[in-house]
Amino acid sequence: MEVCGKRTETATDTSRDLKKKEERMELRITNPQENWLTEQILWNNEELKAAIAEKVKDYKTIAYTEDSLKDMKADRADLNKLKKAFEDERKRVKKICMEPYTKFEQQVKEITALIDEPIGLIDSQIKEIDESRKAVKREEIEELFLTVGFQSFVKLDMIWDEKWLNATVGYKGYIQLAKRSGVYKKINVLSIKAGELISYNPLEEELEINLIEDDYVRENTPTIGYYAMFEEVNGYRHSIYWSKQRMLAHAEKYSFAFYKNGGAKSLELLEEGKIPEKDMWKYSSFWFKDFDAMAHKTMLRQLISKWGTMSIDLQNAIDKDMAVIHEDGKTDYVDEVKAEDDGVVSDQELQEVQEDQPAAPGTQQPDPKGIEASFFG
């Protein structure tokens, strides 16, 4: 990166340079070569095993008496002496074999200790950023709690769950997890802009669109719907399309925070810049912050969880996002909830689906059991 004609090093530049250097930093065994390392210690194993087996066979048939106590002790001493001779030799050989490895191990640890130092520095910065993010999110939750309308005896600490501060997978994370599984050849999600949709046949899963070529124009054109598709490596394909109206209805049904603060009407005002700055804190729901990103995430979860093949990582990510964690610690999932969208996924970044009912007009007092849905819409 150049500033005023001078190059300044960024974190990205540093990372790129380090990766180039890593290509030259490869541990190579030069003496002995790896294929020379001892794979087997050759000794007269079978010969001694046969001789010892023959020797101890006699002891198994001896019937000692009280009068032969002295002989018993002598025989035991002979056997212990024989065993010790083998053990001493084993230990001697082990020491010889381990001496070069022990030195090698210590040398490697000295090098990895040098690597641990920047790892520790990076970890501390990651922790600092994460703690800052959690602090902001906690403030948002506390502010929202005051507006929800709980009775005075209900305190936030009584229902607080640290999981509410967790960060979860975004829609791009779903795409990466899906591709990493090795099952998917293609997987994508797309906002459809006004004027682009020509036709969509849900039976044949055929979408005909004419994309706006100018990126700037497309970015500033209103969204009318969402399309998601995948193709597995075995050739199986599936796709779905939702209108924006359907997505708005879904958000209002499953996100109490989105519904409580005006839902679609408030979103329209936000997009038009008509919400006063002093009231912006009310719209902390991710549906208000980035509706399209949440819509993309919902489309992918709906598509993959219903028709796709899921790896363990992908299943865990979807389960985490779709979970409704109740006050007693029990967990429900959206697919187990009665929903008009055939078990459509939850609406929020942080395990936050209202248990089974949309927020009804005139609701006075939210159920504390659905507190996660209230906070995280």
- Pick 247 or 206 by higher pLDDT: 247
Is-contact 148 260, C-beta < 8 A? yes
Angstrom distance (rounded) from CA 17 to CA 274: 46
Per-residue pLDDT tens digits for 256-275: 788 888 999 999 998 888 98
Q: What is the mean pLDDT of the chain?
A: 75
DSSP 40-86: ----SHHHHHHHHHHHHHHHHH----GGGHHHHHHHHHHHHHHHHHH
Give me the percent of the chain exceeding a pLDDT of 90: 27
pLDDT of 228 higher than 90: yes
pLDDT, average across residues 282-293: 85
DSSP 298-359: HHHHHHHHHHS---HHHHHHHHHHHEEE-TTS-EEEGGGS--TTSSPPPSSSSS---SSSPP
Residue 91 is predicted with a pLDDT of: 93
Residue 149 is predicted with a pLDDT of: 55
In the structure, how many helices (H) and strands (E) does the chain have? 13, 9
Q: pLDDT confidence of 315, banded at 50, 70, 90?
A: low
Quick check: helix, strand or coil at residue 182? Answer: coil
Is-contact 269 242, C-beta < 8 A? no
**Which conformational region is residue 86 in: left (phi greater than 0), alpha (psi within -120 to 50 degrees), or beta?**
alpha
Per-residue pLDDT tens digits for 291-303: 998 899 889 888 8
Parallel/antiparallel/unpaired status of strands 6-7 and 2-3: antiparallel
Residue 3 is predicted with a pLDDT of: 37
pLDDT of 57 higher than 70: yes
Task: Report in angstroms the alpha-carbon separations of 221 from 11, 212, 261.
Answer: 35, 9, 25
Angstrom distance (rounded) from CA 311 to CA 176: 12
Per-residue pLDDT tens digits for 36-54: 666 778 889 899 999 889 8
pLDDT of 246 higher than 90: yes
Is-contact 284 144, C-beta < 8 A? yes
Quick check: helix, strand or coil at residue 100? Answer: helix
Name the CA radius of gyration of the chain, rounded. 34
Lowest mean pLDDT among 122-136, 189-203, 263-277, 305-319: 305-319
- Of the candidates 286, 233, 293, 229, the residue with the CA atom closest to the CA atom of residue 261: 286
Q: pLDDT confidence of 230, banded at 50, 70, 90?
A: very high
- Of the candidates 306, 292, 294, the residue with the CA atom closest to the CA atom of residue 339: 306
Greatest alpha-carbon pair distance for the chain in Å reads 109
> In this structure, what token pair is assigned to residue 180?
């990493």
Lowest mean pLDDT among 171-175, 262-266, 344-348: 344-348
Report residue 92: phi and psi, to 5°: -65, -45
Q: pLDDT confidence of 192, banded at 50, 70, 90?
A: very high
Lowest mean pLDDT among 2-6, 151-155, 346-350: 346-350
pLDDT, average across residues 267-293: 86
pTM above 0.85, yes or no: no
- Of the candidates 257, 266, 265, the residue with the CA atom closest to the CA atom of residue 348: 257
